[in-house]
Structure 1
Amino acid sequence: MALTTLSFETPDALTDAFAQDLVSILKTGIKTRGRASLIVSGGRTPLALFKQLSETELEWDKVDVTLADERWVEEGHEASNTSLVKNNLIQNKAAAARFIELKSDADDANEGVNAAESNLASMSQPFDALILGMGEDGHTASLFPCSEQVLDGLDMSSGRTCIAVQPTTAPHQRISLTLPALLNSRNIFLHLTGEKKKQVLLDAIDNATEAQKPITAVVNRAPVTLMWAP
């Protein structure tokens, strides 16, 4: 396990530092390989970060952005991570970035997995930066401990980059990057705020199996930087 914790006094201080780090990583990717790739997560926590990144000078036309997971809902639905990212990150100066869709017109996430994998294959890999969140049940991306698909998502030998997931403790069918796809990243960040989430993470690391708390599967296998503020 290689977890590095960077703690900040306020969420605003975290956002400022995190945005600077990400821009530096993306600039290096562009300079070194011609394009850079960024995987983000949904939810409320990254909104301020998205907005700050969107106002930052960068060769955004050379950046590919995608999601660690998506709910299988139409764009425009209040639960759509695609809408959240397009409305908060792919704006302003970052409007030139190329957004890679996970969600397609397929009726079911199982039917959309191949298209999502094909889309992801067009991105510069290993991904330059991955930003993960974590739920209070220890899920990350849409690798839910409650789902029948959790072991498939954690399987390092599956050869799949995406998986369809049906959580039993959260609404909506999902599509999620698998553990090996998530780990195929040069820089992995876990973005958390609040004492409760931090304690969930520490308890998971100390006391849970990977299937019980899937976030531990990431922390167990790769260097992860925890960006945390109260």
Structure 2
Amino acid sequence: MSWVHEHRFPDSLALAHALSGEIKVDLEEAIQERGAASLVVSGGRTPARLFEQLRGEALDWSKVWITLADERWVETTAAASNEKLVRETLLTGPAAAAHFVGLKNPAPAPEAGADWATRALTRVPHPFDVVLLGMGDDGHTASLFPGSLALGKALDRSVPPGCIAINSLTAPHARLSLNLSALLDSRRIILHIEGESKWQVYQRAKAAGPVAELPVRSVLHQKEVPMDVYWAP
């Protein structure tokens, strides 16, 4: 897996400083070359410190578009909402000038909401400049969960880039997730993980095996998009 570059740090603060600077450079270069930049982020507990660092970077945030890799089908004011996390920890200060496209929408159910979100995503510059992913202890990334009935369709590269409604067998809430085609419609993918247990899952996922068992393999074993892994204990 020589196309995957690993970056290890002594703690999450050192990781946040380094990764924030890397993302800033990528977005800056995109703005200079194309007049706009796009960043896909993930929710959960892991990226909060990174977001707090990133929001202070000196960028022309008015030319940056931000969206989500996945979202729980909850109101955007709910504690479980990834949009709420991003608005409170990233889209403040200078970064409040960025354009944000959320995935949760007025559709009555996630299945209808997936079509709505796919259309909304056409506003975000493609290919995405940076896709920032996390990973669960079960090997899921975005909301591509092992055991989900929708996983096969989500991983099918013949399906056009877009959103898919998906459920986890273990995690609460129905969800929307970018499918694999959408995640790979990018210039760079970064997997941000912290903690010893996730490092062990990552080591398992690096080895050959069924993607359905550890869906993060779908991005680790592809050779189309440069891939970086950032880890701290």
Tell me, yes or no, whether TM beats 0.5: yes
Cα distance, 1:205 vs structure 2: 2.3
| Equivalent position of 2:43 in the other structure | 42
Range with greater deviation from structure 2 (217-226 or 78-87): 217-226
Cα distance, 1:198 vs structure 2: 0.8
Cα distance, 1:204 vs structure 2: 2.1
| Equivalent position of 2:20 in the other structure | 19
Range with greater deviation from structure 2 (172-181 or 116-125): 116-125
| Equivalent position of 2:202 in the other structure | 201
For 1:146-199, what per-residue CA distance to the aligned partner results, in whole angstroms no more than 9, with x for missing partners?
210011100000114110001111100000000010011111100011111011
Q: How does 1:62-81 map to 2 (within 5 A)?
A: 62-81=63-82
For 1:31-58, what per-residue CA distance to the aligned partner results, in whole angstroms no more than 9, with x for missing partners?
1001000000001111011011112211
Identity %: 46
| Equivalent position of 2:230 in the other structure | 227
Corresponding residue pairs, total: 230
Any idea what SS the aligned residue of 2:172 has? coil
1:20 partner letter: G
Distance 2:231 2:206 in 1: 16
* Contact residue 132 and residue 189 of structure 1 kept, 8 A: yes
* Contact residue 146 and residue 169 of structure 1 kept, 8 A: no
* Contact residue 107 and residue 116 of structure 2 kept, 8 A: no
Any idea what SS the aligned residue of 2:228 has? strand
For 1:46-96, what per-residue CA distance to the aligned partner results, in whole angstroms no more than 9, with x for missing partners?
101101111221100000000000000001111100000001101011000
Distance 2:208 2:197 in 1: 16
* Contact residue 127 and residue 186 of structure 2 kept, 8 A: yes
Any idea what SS the aligned residue of 1:112 has? helix
Query: Are 1:133 and 2:134 counterparts?
Result: yes
Structure 2, unmatched stretches of 5+, are none
Range with greater deviation from structure 2 (220-229 or 128-137): 220-229
1:32 partner letter: E
* Contact residue 51 and residue 89 of structure 2 kept, 8 A: yes
2:116 partner letter: A
1:141 partner letter: A
Any idea what SS the aligned residue of 2:221 has? helix
* Contact residue 161 and residue 180 of structure 2 kept, 8 A: no
| CA separation of 1:160 and 1:56: change in aligned 2, threshold 3 A | closer
Q: TM-score, normalised by structure 1?
A: 0.97
Query: Are 1:171 and 2:172 counterparts?
Result: yes
Distance 2:203 2:57 in 1: 33
| Equivalent position of 2:89 in the other structure | 88
Distance 1:218 1:41 in 2: 15
CA RMSD of aligned residues (A): 1.0
Structure 1, unmatched stretches of 5+, are none
Q: How does 1:96-175 map to 2 (within 5 A)?
A: 96-175=97-176
Query: Are 1:6 and 2:23 counterparts?
Result: no
1:151 partner letter: G
Distance 1:8 1:160 in 2: 33
* Contact residue 126 and residue 186 of structure 1 kept, 8 A: yes
2:232 partner letter: A
| Equivalent position of 1:52 in the other structure | 53
Any idea what SS the aligned residue of 1:121 has? helix
Cα distance, 1:207 vs structure 2: 5.1
Cα distance, 1:208 vs structure 2: 3.1
Range with greater deviation from structure 2 (79-88 or 204-213): 204-213
Runs of 4+ in 1 over 4 A off after TM superposition: none
